[in-house]
Amino acid sequence: MKDISKSLTDFQHIFEAENMKNSTKLNYTSKPNLKVDTTEGKATDLSSPNYMNYDENKIIIPETNQKLDFKCLEVEEIFQLLKKTCLNASQAARNLNDDGKFYKTLIEVKDSFLVRAKEIKSFRNNERDDNINDLNQRLFDLHRVCWNLNNKLVKISAQRSPLGQSTKILLNKKKLVAFANEIHEAWISLMLQLAMMLADKSTKDATDASVHVAQLAIATGSPDWKDISLDDAGKLYTQGDKFLFGYGFPQSYDLAYKRYQAAANAGFPEAFNMLGMMHENGLGQKRDMNLALQNYREAASKNCLDALNNLGRIYQNGLGCSVDYGTAQEYYTKAAEGGHLDAMVNIGYLLEHGLGSSANSEASFHWYNTAAEKGYAKAENAVGSCYYKGLVSLKKNPEEAVKWFRKSSLQGNSHAMNNLGICYEEGLGVSKDLGIAKQYYKESALLMHPSATNNYGYMLLLEHDYDEAIKNFHMSMHLGSAEGAFNLGNLYENGCYHYSELILSTDLDMAIKYYKIAAKKNHVQAQIRLGIIYLTGPQQIQSPEIALQYLTPAAEEGDNGDAQNLIGQMKELGLVGSNYQEQPGLGGSLNSLKSSNNTLFQPDYKSSKVWYQKALLKGHLGAMYNMGSLYEQGNGVERDIEKAALYFQMGAKGGHKESTLKIEEYKTLRILE
C-alpha cells in the first residue's frame, strides 16, 4: 500500500522519476530550481564547542585568538552554519513533540537564505552602497543567534544517554524554541533590509534605463533598441523581476511583461526566457505555447541556459509539441555542458531510462554526481537513488544512499524526505524505526508530496487513526498519487473495522470508483482488483470482457504474474474468445468455474499455457498448479503425469495448498513415492 507514483513537470523544473516502494524505484524530483552559491573555500567549523563567544561586533577566531570585524563574515560561512544547525536540530526535533515547528522554522530560514545568497553577495560587493553597514549588521545578527543555537545543540548531543535519548532535551524545549524564534526574527530583519536595498536599486536602475529610452524617443521619434546597451537592458530586466515577484512594489504581471519585452527588444537573452515562461503559464498574457516556444528558442539561440533547459523540458513532456526525447536530450546536454545544474539531472534521467538514446547508466550517474557535488538537492537525491538501486558499477549501498538523501533533505527536498522515510520504515541503511519514518513522511507531506502523503496515511492506518489515514489517502489522491486512490478502493472493498467497531462500511461501487482512478494511472494492483471484481463479483456486474480489459495491461505493460495467471485461467475456462458478446453473469469464483462446465467459448489451452509460462517466470505458485493440471488432464498438451507431478511439487515447495493436496493424492495412488 505504499506509493510508487509519478508527478508532473512544470516550468520551475520539477519532474519526478519513480519512487522506490514495491517497484524498488526512487523518486528523483525536487523543489523548484534554486540557484545555489558554489563559492569555493572552507568555512570555519562552527559546530566546534571551542568556537568562542561573540564580543559585540567582533568574532574571535580560535586558531589565532584574533578579533575579526563582522564585515569580513562571508555569506557562504553563514549558510554552512545554517546547514550544520539544521543537521544538529533534526536529531533534537524528534523529541520536542511540537509537530515539527521548531525544525521547520530552521529549514525555512536555511532554504530562504540559499535563494537570496547571490543577491546578498551582489549588494555586499558594492561598497559604495549607503546601506551596506546595515546589511552587514543584519547578517552578523543572524550568524550570532544561529551560532548560539548550534552550540546549544552540540552540547545536548554530547549529553545523550546510551539509548540515544537526550537527558535534558525536554527541559530545554522552551529554550530551543526561543532560539529558533530569534533566528526567524533575525532573518525577517535581514529580509526587510534586503527588500529596502533592492527596491532602491531597482528604482534607480529602472529610472536610468527609462531615461535612456526616453532620450532616444525624443531624439528620433521612437526608441532605437539597437542603441540601448545590454547594461540598460539588464536594468529593465531587473525591473521586470521586481514587478513579477513584488520586490518592494505591488506585484504586476502586466508591468513585468512590458519590462521584459523592452529588455528583449534590446537583445537581452534572459528576458526572452521570462517572456516564454509568462506565455507558457498565462501570467499577464493569455497562455500561448507557440509564443512560449518562440521566445524560449530566441533565448536559447543566445545561449541562455535556463531557456535551453526549458526547451528540453517542453520536448520531454510534449507541451505544445510532440514528445521528442532526442530533441529534449540535445537541449539538456547543451545546458548541462554550460553548467546548468537542473539540466544535469534532467539529462541524467533521460540517459538512465534510455529516453532519446540507448540507456547509459554510467553517463547518467556522471551528470547526477556532477550536480550533487555542487550541492544541488535534486541531484543529491538522484545520487542517493543510484546507491540504493546499485546503478552502474555501484554495488547496492543503502548506507551511502541514506547519506545523500540526508544531504538533499536538509535543503528541503520533499522527495528525499520521503525516501528517508522509506529507508527507516524498511531498515535499509539505518536501524528500522517506524517513528522516525513517520516523521519524515509527515515533513514531506507538509510540502504536499503525493507519495509521502499516502505513506503518512499508511502509518496512521497502522496506528488505528483511521479518520486521519483516510484524509491523507484522499489528499494524496488529489495530489496525483495512484496509490492513495488504490488504498481508498481497498478500504471500501473490504470495509474497515477496529475490533468490533465499524469505521467504514463496505461499498463495492465506491471501491470500483477509486480502483478505476488508480487503474487509469497504470496502477497494476488496482487493475488486478478490477479484473477480479468483474470476474467473480456480484452477478449483475460480472463481465469477463471488462475484466480482460483491466488484466491485459497489468499482465503486459505491468508484467505481473497474478494478472498473467488470471488471463491463463480465463483462456483455459473459455470465458473469453475472439467473437465476444455480453453474457449473463457467470456466478461463483474462478475455482468453482474451473470444476464446472459453465463456459462461454471453446477453451483455448494453447493460449492459457503461454500465459501460465509467463507467470511461472515470476515464480507464481498458482501458475505452477495450473500448468500441472494441463499436463495431468492432457489439455492442449500431451498427457504427462510425471510433468504434472513436477509442477505440483514446485507449487507445494512454495506452500501452495492445492499443489500440496495433489502431491498427497499422488502418493496415496503410488504415482509418487
Q: Answer yes or no: is 392 within a domain.
A: yes
pLDDT-derived band at 153, boundaries 50, 70, 90: confident
Domain boundary among 446, 481, 508: 446
Shared domain for 156 and 256, answered yes or no, is: no
pLDDT-derived band at 316, boundaries 50, 70, 90: very high
Shared domain for 138 and 245, answered yes or no, is: no
β-strand pairing of 58-61 with 66-69: antiparallel
Q: Which three cell numbers stand for residue 329?
A: 536530450
**Strand spans (E) along 21-88:** 58-61, 66-69
Q: Answer yes or no: is 647 within a domain.
A: no
Instruction: Please give the Cα distance from 601 to 571 (Å, whole number).
Output: 9
Choose between 169 and 102: higher pLDDT: 102
Domain boundary among 404, 423, 446: 446
- Chain-centre distance for alpha carbon 455: 13
Instruction: Please give the Cα distance from 445 to 472 (Å, whole number).
Output: 9
Report the helix count and the strand count for the chain, using DSSP H and E. Answer: 28, 4
CA dihedral 357, 360, 365, 367 (to 10 degrees): -30
Whether pLDDT at 544 is above 60: yes
Whether pLDDT at 589 is above 60: no
Whether pLDDT at 330 is above 90: yes
- In our burial notation (b when 16+ CB lie closer than 10 A, e otherwise), range 585-621 reads ebebebeebeeeeeebbebbbebbbebbebbbeeebb
Read off the CATH number of the domain in which 303 is found: 1.25.40.10
Instruction: Please give the Cα distance from 279 to 277 (Å, whole number).
Output: 5
Q: Answer yes or no: is 361 within a domain.
A: yes
Task: Give me the pLDDT at residue 335, please.
Answer: 98
Instruction: Please give the Cα distance from 484 to 473 (Å, whole number).
Output: 5
Q: How far is CA 466 from CA 433, 461, 482, in A?
A: 21, 6, 19
Whether pLDDT at 63 is above 50: no
Q: How far is CA 314 from CA 251, 276, 277, 310, in A?
A: 27, 11, 11, 6
Residue 582's CB: how many other CB atoms inside 10 A? 8
Which residues are 160's β-sheet partners? 166
Using alpha carbons, select from 257, 244, 230 the residue that is nearest to residue 202. 244
Q: Which segment of 260-264, 279-283, 379-383, 563-567 scores lowest on mean pLDDT? A: 260-264
Task: Give the largest CA-CA distance in the chain.
Answer: 111
pTM: 0.66
Q: Which segment of 60-64, 376-380, 381-385 scores lowest on mean pLDDT? A: 60-64
Shared domain for 200 and 225, answered yes or no, is: no
Instruction: Please give the Cα distance from 191 to 380 (Å, whole number).
Output: 28
What residue numbers bound the domain in which 83 lies? 58-204
Over residues 70-74, mean pLDDT: 62
Shared domain for 165 and 306, answered yes or no, is: no
The answer to whether 191 and 123 are in contact (CB under 8 A) is no
Task: Give me the pLDDT at residue 200, please.
Answer: 62
Q: Answer yes or no: is 30 within a domain.
A: no
Shared domain for 296 and 436, answered yes or no, is: yes
pLDDT-derived band at 74, boundaries 50, 70, 90: confident
Instruction: Please give the Cα distance from 199 to 440 (Å, whole number).
Output: 38
Residue 158's CB: how many other CB atoms inside 10 A? 9
pLDDT-derived band at 219, boundaries 50, 70, 90: very low
Q: What is the DSSP letter of 396?
A: P
Shared domain for 295 and 425, answered yes or no, is: yes
Q: What is the DSSP letter of 631?
A: H
Domain boundary among 393, 414, 446: 446
Angle at CA of residue 667, ends 664 and 669, nearest 5°: 115
Shared domain for 163 and 305, answered yes or no, is: no
Q: Answer yes or no: is 613 within a domain.
A: no
pLDDT-derived band at 588, boundaries 50, 70, 90: very low
Over residues 636-649, mean pLDDT: 95
Task: Give me the pLDDT at residue 37, please.
Answer: 27
Task: Give me the pLDDT at residue 71, please.
Answer: 52
Shared domain for 225 and 199, answered yes or no, is: no
Which residues are 504's β-sheet partners? 496
- Chain-centre distance for alpha carbon 258: 35
pLDDT-derived band at 594, boundaries 50, 70, 90: low
Instruction: Please give the Cα distance from 646 to 487 (Å, whole number).
Output: 38
Whether pLDDT at 20 is above 70: no
Choose between 16 and 564: higher pLDDT: 564
Shared domain for 241 and 382, answered yes or no, is: yes
Q: Answer yes or no: is 120 within a domain.
A: yes
Give 88-147 pLDDT, tens digit per residue.
877 677 666 666 777 777 887 877 777 677 778 777 776 555 667 777 888 888 888 888
Give 661-670 pLDDT, tens digit per residue.
999 999 998 8
Instruction: Please give the Cα distance from 380 to 372 (Å, whole number).
Output: 5
Q: Which segment of 194-198, 392-396, 494-498 scores lowest on mean pLDDT? A: 194-198
Give φ, ψ of 174 to 5 degrees.
-60, -40
CA atoms within a 13 Å half-sphere pointing along the CA-CB vector of 505: 2
Choose between 311 and 163: higher pLDDT: 311
Residue 358's CB: how many other CB atoms inside 10 A? 6
Whether pLDDT at 411 is above 60: yes
Give SS3 for 141.
Answer: helix
Choose between 621 and 262: higher pLDDT: 621
Q: Which segment of 44-58, 239-253, 320-334, 423-437 scores lowest on mean pLDDT? A: 44-58
Task: Give me the pLDDT at residue 494, please.
Answer: 94
The answer to whether 238 and 262 are in contact (CB under 8 A) is no
Q: Answer yes or no: is 488 within a domain.
A: no
Q: Which segment of 48-52, 151-155, 332-336 scores lowest on mean pLDDT? A: 48-52
Instruction: Please give the Cα distance from 391 to 586 (Å, whole number).
Output: 48
Q: Which three cell numbers stand for residue 611?
A: 500465459
Task: Give me the pLDDT at residue 231, please.
Answer: 66
The answer to whether 545 and 576 are in contact (CB under 8 A) is yes
Structural domain count of the chain:
2
Residue type, 289: M
**What is the average pLDDT score of the chain?**
80
Instruction: Please give the Cα distance from 325 to 330 (Å, whole number).
Output: 9
Whether pLDDT at 454 is above 50: yes
Task: Give me the pLDDT at residue 375, please.
Answer: 94
Whether pLDDT at 362 is above 50: yes
Percent of the chain, pLDDT > 90? 53
